[in-house]
Amino acid sequence: MNHREILQQGKTSLGIEFGSTRIKAVLIDETGHVLASGGHTWADTLQDGVWTYRMDQVIEGLQSCYQDLKQQVKNTYGVTLSTIGSIGISAMMHGYLPFDEGMNLLTPFRTWRNTITGPAAKELTDLFQFNIPQRWSIAHLHQAILNGEEHVKDVRFFTTLAGYVHYLLSGEKVLGIGDAAGMFPIDSTIMDYDQRMLQQYQEHIASKNYPWSIREILPKTLVAGENAGRLTDSGARLLDPDGDLTPGIPLCPPEGDAGTGMTATNSVGVRTGNVSAGTSIFAMVVLEKALSRLHTEIDMVTTPTGLPVAMVHCNTCTSDLNAWAGLFAEFARAAGHEIGMNELFPLLFNSARDGEKDAGGLISFNYYSGEPVTGCEQGVPMFVRRPDSPITLSSFMRSLIYSSVAALSIGMRILTEEEKASIDKILGHGGLFKTPEVGQSILAAAIGTPVTVMETASEGGAWGIALLAAYMNQHAENETLDAWLDTKIFAGMPSTVLAPKEEDVAGFNAYIGRYAALLDTERLAAKTLM
């Protein structure tokens, strides 16, 4: 078939992912090839001390990125998009979206970025003897209980952003198991929420006499390959207000950005892992055995097929890099030289190659919010140097990139050094890897493991959820997700592998030693300024 026929017959899959700064739509054919894409830029806001997005922004972004993609299809292929083989929705994991019986939102969306649930997270971690991070949905719900918030009694359903958008399109209150693992602990032996912990929690809050049970208000869990409903008439009109898109299109289970990142990097099998580096940064490692003990720096989640995964999640990665790049762009304009970001970022990143291996004594903290991995409840960006440490562009940029992976490296060392977790390969994807080799080589030094970047690294989670939608439609009976990805999507795909260099490892270790020694200073700065 040619592309027109593929589009007209719906031999396609659509993935839409709500990222922190960009909503992206990707349309692929049955081989995973990208036919068209669309995007919409947005940003969270800090309201009354809570990081949030408004729900009208969600709908506006959904429609905008789809219309952008639809127009690209029209311009490129001369086809008005009217049917699609399957659809998948993904978004930032975790957070808190509670609804009443009429599906009215009871509070503004509390995103993963908030570090306002410390008491609840600690109480639940102690109760379950299982790490409950602050950003998890159950931590937000329980903190609302501890706060005595009036809305809790009216909750009849709560979910993640991906689960909510999926509901708008399909009417189904379901969630992919990988995203569900950021709401409440999962038992991978039954592919569902941990039944013992559900009972523990219900008993823990029994004295509150709420008219709901935790089992009733969580979304149903589904694994990759299962059908998660169909596009309703109202869902089709919501996605495409022009009315061209026909209802009835099957939807795959909605997933979080961690699950789509694993899929997009072909790291859903045991002993594989990936690092997603964008606004936030997190590593996912699929385990062959359980961790020996509780580590509050490491979260236990799952792949989209329910396998146990150790996750090291850090709240900030590229935000500070982006801010400094904006300053350099402003300086260039003031000097009469307009430099676009697509030109500026490679220039800045490549300069880091020539920097001192330890960044010349320059230390940067990129914290735009709290960072639980390093024990920082609040965060402020901070740059520190000794008086005898000269500022050069190369060392400054190396310090900024080191900072973007520093907290992650601290969490990963617990996994590899203390837990002796075996990792055959780590794949990198996200904005940090757009400039060839620079971010890749620095990450390899930071985690002491070879890092692979594939040609599709820049496609990201929207491509990953499109693949999960395609897998639902295409996989043979008993064909696992990792086998399908290996043979149908990634076979022969070009990639680059960089092993950590001895001098880079030594330089990063010197940097991280100074960084760790200054953590108390970062905590004091945040306490003083926030």
Angle, CA 527 vertex, CA 521 and CA 530 arms, to 5°: 125
Which residues sit opposite 99 in a β-bridge?
Answer: 105, 157
List residues bridging with 376 in a β-sheet.
371
C-alpha 415/C-alpha 451 separation (Å) is: 16
Q: For 473, list phi and psi in degrees, rounded to 5.
A: -80, -30
- Asked whether the beta carbons of 286 and 309 are under 8 A apart, the reply is yes
d(CA 133, CA 138): 9
d(CA 372, CA 472): 36
Are 491 and 294 within 8 A, CB to CB?
Answer: no
The predicted pLDDT at position 42 comes to 96
Cβ atoms 525, 384 nearer than 8 A? no
DSSP 360: G
User: What is the phi-psi region of residue 172: left when phi exceeds 0, alpha when psi lies from -120 to 50, beta otherwise?
Assistant: beta
Chain centroid to CA 424:
22
Closest residue by Cα to residue 130 from 258, 309, 373, 293: 293
Whole-angstrom Cα distance, residue 180 to residue 193?
8
* Contact (CB, 8 A) for 245 and 236: yes
* Contacts of residue 282, Cβ cutoff 8 Å, sequence gap at least 6: 258, 261, 275, 276, 311, 312, 313, 314, 408
Other CB atoms within a 10 A radius of the CB of residue 343 amount to: 12
Task: Tell me the C-alpha distance between 10 and 86, whole Å.
Answer: 8
Full pLDDT tens readout for the chain, 530 residues: 799 999 999 999 999 999 989 999 999 999 999 999 999 999 999 999 999 999 999 999 999 999 999 999 999 999 999 999 999 999 999 999 999 999 999 999 999 889 899 999 999 999 999 999 999 999 999 999 999 999 999 999 999 999 999 999 999 999 999 999 999 999 999 999 999 999 999 999 999 999 999 999 999 999 999 999 999 999 999 999 999 999 999 999 999 998 998 998 899 999 899 998 888 898 999 998 778 889 988 989 999 999 999 999 898 899 999 999 999 999 999 999 999 999 999 999 999 999 999 999 999 999 998 998 999 989 999 999 999 999 999 999 999 999 999 999 999 999 989 998 888 889 988 889 889 999 999 999 999 989 999 876 556 789 999 999 999 999 998 999 999 999 999 988 888 999 999 999 999 999 999 999 999 999 999 999 98
Residue that has been written with the tokens 């709560």 in this structure: 158
Let me know: does 112 contact 94? Beta carbons within 8 Å.
yes
Classify burial at 332, counting beta carbons within 10 Å of its beta carbon; exposed 0-12, middle 13-18, buried 19 or more.
Answer: middle
Question: Dihedral of CA 320/24/113/58: which sign?
Answer: positive
DSSP β-bridge partners for residue 38: 25
Structure tokens at 98: 């509670």
So what's the pLDDT on residue 113? 86
Domain ranges for the chain = 319-399+505-529
How far does Cα 453 stand from its chain's mean position?
A: 17
The pLDDT, as a whole number, for residue 291 is 84
Q: What is the pTM of this model?
A: 0.82
Which among 480, 474, 421 has a CA at the least distance from the CA of 449? 421
Chain CA centroid to CA 105, Å: 23
* Helices and strands in the chain, H and E counts: 18, 22
How much is the pLDDT for 494? 86
CB 522 within 8 A of CB 370: no
Residue matched to tokens 């026929």: 5
